[in-house]
Amino acid sequence: VIRLDGKTVAEHVKQRLLPRIEHFKSKIGRSPHLVVVLVGDDPASQVYVKNKQLACEKLGMKSTLLRKPANLSQADLEKLISELNTDDAVDGVLVQMPLPSHLKSDKIFELLDPSKDADGFSYFSTGLLWAGKATVKPCTPAGVIEILKYYKIPLKGKNVVVVGRSHIVGKPVAALLLDENATVTVVHSHTVNMQEYTQNADVVVVAAGKPHLLGKNDFKKDAVVIDVGIHGTGKGNLHGDVRFEELEGWVSAATPVPGGVGPMTIAMLLQNTVSLAEKRKF
Ligand code: NAD
C-alpha cells in the first residue's frame, strides 16, 4: 500500500504559497491577514485555532484571534461578523465550529461576506463551488483533491464513491471530484447496501465520522482509499473511519490517520486566505 502522506503534500502547498505572500507584501505593504473567531472554550477548538495561528505566523502571514465568551449573544456575534466584513485590514475570516448550542451557525454562513470567507462554508461560497466558480474551496475537501493530484491518482472517468454528505466534507468533495471529471456517487447513512457502491469504486473518500466503519471487504482490489475521519482514543492516539491495518496487500494506496488528510486542512486554509487577499481591491 502506498501511504499517501498528507504532511508532505501540506508542506508542498505551503512552500508554493511563499512567493505569493511575498508578492502581496511588497505590493500592499502588509501581510495577508486571517481573523479567527473563537466563541467559548471548547478544548479541541482551542487546539485547532492555535495550530491555525501558528501555521499563519510560520509563513509570514498575520493572524488575529478574537476570543469571545461562551455566553456571547447571537446579535453580538452577527454584529462582529458585519464589522469584519467591512474591515479593510482583514482578508479572511473564520468562525471556529462548533459554536455553543444557543448560537446559529446557519446565520453565520448567510452573513459572512464570500470575499472574506476563508473556510468556504458560507452559502454564497457553496453556490460558487457548485457553479465551478469558487475562489475558495472548503479546506478539507480541497486538501483531499490536492493529495490525489500530488500522487497523480487518475480521476477522469473513474468511479469515485464519497461516504458522507455533510456541508463540511461530503457534499463539497463530491462537487470538486465532479470538476475533476470523475463519476461521483455519494452514499450516506440512509444508503441501502453501501458495500455494493464502495466495492465498485476506483477511489473511495470516507467521511462518515464513524470509527473503523470500513475495511478490506468494502474496497475492490487496488482501489485508492482516502480516510477523512478523525477519532481520538482518549490516550492521544488518533484513528480514522477506515481499518487501515486491513488494507495491506489489497488496496493500492491509502491515507493514514494521523498524517493523511488532517495536515491538509490548515494548508488549504492558508491558501484560501492568500487567494482572498489577492482578489481584494485596494
Ligand atoms: P458529519 O457527522 O457531519 O457527517 C457524516 C456523514 O456521514 C453524514 O452525511 C452521514 O449521512 C454519513 N454517515 C454516517 N454514518 C454512516 C454510515 N454508517 N454509513 C454511511 N454513511 C454514514 O461529519 P463531517 O463533519 O462530515 O466529518 C466526518 C469525519 O471527518 C469526522 O470524523 C470528522 O472528525 C472528520 N473531519 C476531519 C477533518 C480533517 O481536517 N481531516 C475535517 C472535518 C471533518
- Residue-wise pLDDT tens digits, 172-212: 999 999 999 999 999 999 999 999 999 999 999 999 999 99
| 271 in catalytic set | no
CB-ligand 1 contact for 9 (6 Å cutoff):
no
Interatomic CA distance for residues 221 and 245, integer angstroms: 15
**Measured from the CB, is residue 211 less than 6 Å from ligand 1?**
no
How would you class 243 by CB atoms within 10 Å of its CB: exposed for 0-12, middle for 13-18, buried for 19 or more? middle
Give the confidence band of 265 by pLDDT, cuts at 50, 70, 90: very high
Q: In testing the pocket of ligand 1, which one of 228, 239, 257, 266 has its CB within 8 Å of the most ligand atoms?
A: 228
Tell me the pLDDT band of 75, cut-offs 50, 70 and 90: very high
Contacts of 186 (CB under 8 A, 6+ apart): 161, 162, 164, 165, 170, 171, 174
Question: Per residue in 119-133, pLDDT tens?
Answer: 999 999 999 999 999
The verdict on whether 241 is a catalytic residue reads no
Mean pLDDT of 19-36: 98
| CB of residue 267 inside a 6 A radius of ligand 1 | no
The protein residue whose alpha carbon is closest to atom 19 in ligand 1 is 189
With a pLDDT cut of 90, the percent of the chain lying above it is: 96
* 76 pLDDT higher than 80: yes
pLDDT in tens, 205-248: 999 999 999 999 999 999 999 999 999 877 778 999 999 999 99
Among 122, 141, 125, 142, CA closest to 133: 125
Q: With a 6 A CB cut-off, is 140 part of the ligand 1 pocket?
A: yes
Q: Which of 189, 193, 212 most suits a substitution to test ligand 1, by most atoms within 8 Å of the C-beta?
A: 189
| Overall average pLDDT of the 142-154 stretch | 98
What pLDDT sits at residue 34?
Answer: 98
- Written as nine digits, the cell of 157 is 472517468
pLDDT digits (tens, 9 = 90+) for 89-103: 999 999 999 999 999
Residue nearest to atom 12 of ligand 1 (CA): 164
Identify the band that residue 282 occupies on the pLDDT scale cut at 50, 70 and 90. confident
* pLDDT more than 70, % of the chain: 100
Mean local confidence (pLDDT), 248-272: 97
Predicted local distance difference test score (pLDDT) of residue 281: 85
Name which residue sits closest to atom 40 of ligand 1, judged by CA: 262
Distance CA 179, CA 198 (A): 20
Sheet architecture: strand order including 92-95: 62-68, 33-39, 92-95
If you average pLDDT over residues 25-45, what whole number do you get? 96
| Position 270, amino acid | L
Model pLDDT, residue 238: 92
